[in-house]
Structure 1
Amino acid sequence: MTPLFASAVAPVAGDDLVYRVHAAGDSDDAWSGVLTQIRERFRVRWAALARHSFATRQGFALYSAPRDPRLSAALSDYASRNPWFLSSDAYREGRVMAGDELLSNRELVKTDFYRGLMLPHGLYHRLCGVIARRNTLVYYLDLHRGPDEPRFGPRERNAFAALLPHLTLALDVRWRLRETDDMNRALRSIVSTHARAAMLVDADARMVFGDEAAREVCEAVAGLRIEDGRIVAAASADHRVLQEAIARATHASADVDERAAQVLSLSAPGRSQPSVISIRAAGAVFSAELGEMRRLAIVTALNVPSEDDHADCAFVRQFGLSPAQARMSSLIVTGHSIASAARELHVSENTARSHLKQIFQKTDTHSQMELVHLHGRICISL
């Protein structure tokens, strides 16, 4: 029969606890299970994976076993008065220490922390392991026993120390998974609400990212359409040009300047003006489906029909265009000819040419296509 307080054994390869630590990932339930198993392994009353900020003097339990909302709330309430956190120097990543190494039990029982938190919950002996340290923020694992239970012995300390690196690695993986997930969600939000809708495609023009808004963009920009999950030109004559531009942006051996964009004008059946799009390299990402890296390109529609007259875009601000020049440049970069722009502005063609000449002078450009390319480089990131 196993004694009630048998010493814990250091984890080894194949240990179920180690496996569960690394398998926890970003699952809250799995981490709660890990804490339950740690509590059982070390025969303690309470085990808590917690964080404490030395800057704000705030702290709380991330996971604990058993789950005791009152005890967790008390830990947060007494964080600023926790005598074990009077000095930050002791909390070095990987260190294992008993509570009485930081404060003698004789002094501990005199504190409000002991009387308000530990005594009501039957806690006394403490063994702490520092899992991670980030500047003034520390993540640690606390094990607690009662006053009528034995102190933590050398073998238990060694077992605890052997477990800490696994917890550190698992917590780092969890953070990286969360960071990736949060960043992915933020980037998707940016793409979805892009002032000029953008789509990520691979070298074969397959859409890697594009929600319902992307499909709406393809419908609005008649020069593009989605066919079997690929971005294709609406006019067959433009298809090769589009594919070559995507291939250049995703060429693995090409020295591509990711800030530069290729600006294309595509025929737009059913619309009076051509479609204007930009294509630029978006870097390489690992594909779980392929099991290898693949390079991506971002395809951006520059002249999606909109009520916005671009009067306050970065291009207008950078070159100090007047309202009339701003409207003229907006029409030119979205595919209008001088005659068409004059009709839209309700001015003569000579007036439209005068506006365009002034725009050329302010932007140091010499042709409508050069103006379109310059506008695309400046405003593509909006």
Structure 2
Amino acid sequence: MSADHDDQDRWGPLGALLHVVYEIDDREQMLTRFFQRLRDVLRFSSGVFLGIDAQRLELREGFAFDCAHSTLTAYLEHYAAFDPYVLRGPANFRINQSVRLSELMDDGALGRSAFIDFMQTVPYRHALAAVCGYRGRPLAAFCIHRPPGQPDFTTEDGHLISALAPHLGRSLALREWLARHSARESSGLLVFDERGQLVFRDAAAERLLEGHDVVELFELLTRKESPSMVVLADQHYGVERLAWQPASLLTRFMLPEAKPGSSALTTSEVREALGKAEKGMIVRLRRFEQRHDLCQRLRRYGLSPREVRIAEQAIVSDLTNADLAERQHISAETLKSHLREVYRKTQTRNRRELILKVLGLKMDGA
């Protein structure tokens, strides 16, 4: 028996649905399996799952189940404006609460609506939908359909979708959070003692430093105060020095071994070890992601969004000022004015000094 059948036997149809929502990483695969499993519990002909831009409250491209994906494009480009679900307005929907299409518009009004043209292309006559979200944020619009000739969805069907919607919302929020923080997965943690010996590195740091000399890294880190970047074998790495904290789990690498026959370290031994720890170093290391890192660093100098865009282009491209002005759709004089402000805020005098400073490189004579 397959693992899928084992799950269904153990948890039942609803448990299998929740297992799919939380356990399948790939979003499209998760939605495909979710709609398939939902049919074990509820009869429907097709379904859609559209993302919602929470900042602009706009529907985005999404997932179509047993209906042509091209219908989603037609819907977003034209028919959404006539959709009874959309026409009710954001003030009237409740997140994670299902609504039947028949509750929003009767058959007569629906038949006269321009939206009936779209419904006939899918095709469907009945719909049950919910806005899935998390902590008050709408994240996706979920909808299932039934064709003409079949009965409308029941109140019990609505209760089921209302029960599932919060889990879809939480799953989307988790995926969104993981996407935002995925860069952290490529960053590694290293700990050096006061003598420069590497006493700890996590698995991510081990992957990042594969083939590199750790001694060279420590020398680069101590060459000048708090470098923001180091270069190992032509690979640029962003570095961040982390402060030692009394509650840090890493402190144990600085503690001496307990004396034979002693059950614990003495207070003075702990204080002495923590004092030495301050001379050690905790470092977070990650591969330099040029555009993201540059923009993040430039914003720290208090640059405006326009100044960040101009400074970033000035650093990563070899465009002349005239070309930069054309790309930014501004005059050459306006560009010069922006660059002067960039140089003032970053305390540099020209593009070369800006590049050296933002990239954390050593200037000649410095």
Structure 2: how far apart are the matches of 1:104 and 1:222? 75
1:174 aligns with 2:162: no
Alpha-carbon displacement from aligned partner over 1:97-139 (angstroms, at most 9, x marks no partner) = 1112222232222222221x11122211111122116878552
Structure 2: how far apart are the matches of 1:126 and 1:221? 63
Question: Any idea what SS the aligned residue of 1:129 has?
Answer: strand
Which residue in 2 is equivalent to 1:82?
83
Structure 2: how far apart are the matches of 1:47 and 1:319? 53
Which residue in 2 is equivalent to 1:37?
37
- Which of 200, 203, 212 does residue 206 from structure 1 map onto? 200
Structure 2: how far apart are the matches of 1:54 and 1:247? 34
Which residue in 1 is equivalent to 2:121?
120
- Structure 1 218/109 Cα, relative in aligned 2: closer, same or farther at 3 Å? farther
- Which of 64, 71, 91 does residue 93 from structure 2 map onto? 91
- Structure 1 27/95 Cα, relative in aligned 2: closer, same or farther at 3 Å? closer
- Which of 242, 246, 249 does residue 244 from structure 2 map onto? 249
CA RMSD of aligned residues (A): 4.7
Structure 1: how far apart are the matches of 2:177 and 2:55? 24
Query: Which protein is richer in helix relative to its size?
Result: 2
Decide whether the 8 Å contact of 1:279 with 1:299 is kept in 2: no
State percent identity of aligned pairs. 17
Decide whether the 8 Å contact of 2:49 with 2:63 is kept in 1: yes
Unaligned runs of 5+ in 2: 1-10, 193-197, 223-240, 252-277, 287-300, 302-342
1:152 partner amino acid:
F
Structure 2: how far apart are the matches of 1:213 and 1:318? 38
Larger Rg: 1
- Structure 1 80/214 Cα, relative in aligned 2: closer, same or farther at 3 Å? farther
Question: Any idea what SS the aligned residue of 1:42 has?
Answer: coil
- Structure 1 297/16 Cα, relative in aligned 2: closer, same or farther at 3 Å? same
- Structure 1 179/23 Cα, relative in aligned 2: closer, same or farther at 3 Å? same
Alpha-carbon displacement from aligned partner over 1:62-98 (angstroms, at most 9, x marks no partner) = 2232252222222222223323212112222121111
- Structure 1 51/133 Cα, relative in aligned 2: closer, same or farther at 3 Å? farther
- Structure 1 89/280 Cα, relative in aligned 2: closer, same or farther at 3 Å? farther
2:162 partner amino acid:
A
1:44 partner amino acid:
F
Which residue in 2 is equivalent to 1:72?
72
Structure 1: how far apart are the matches of 2:220 and 2:134? 53
Unaligned runs of 5+ in 1: 1-10, 189-198, 226-245, 257-277, 282-295, 301-313, 336-343, 346-374, 376-382
Q: How many residues align?
A: 237
TM-score (norm 2): 0.51
Alpha-carbon displacement from aligned partner over 1:159-185 (angstroms, at most 9, x marks no partner) = 22222232223222222222222x427
Decide whether the 8 Å contact of 2:60 with 2:76 is kept in 1: yes
Question: Any idea what SS the aligned residue of 1:130 has?
Answer: strand
TM-score (norm 1): 0.49
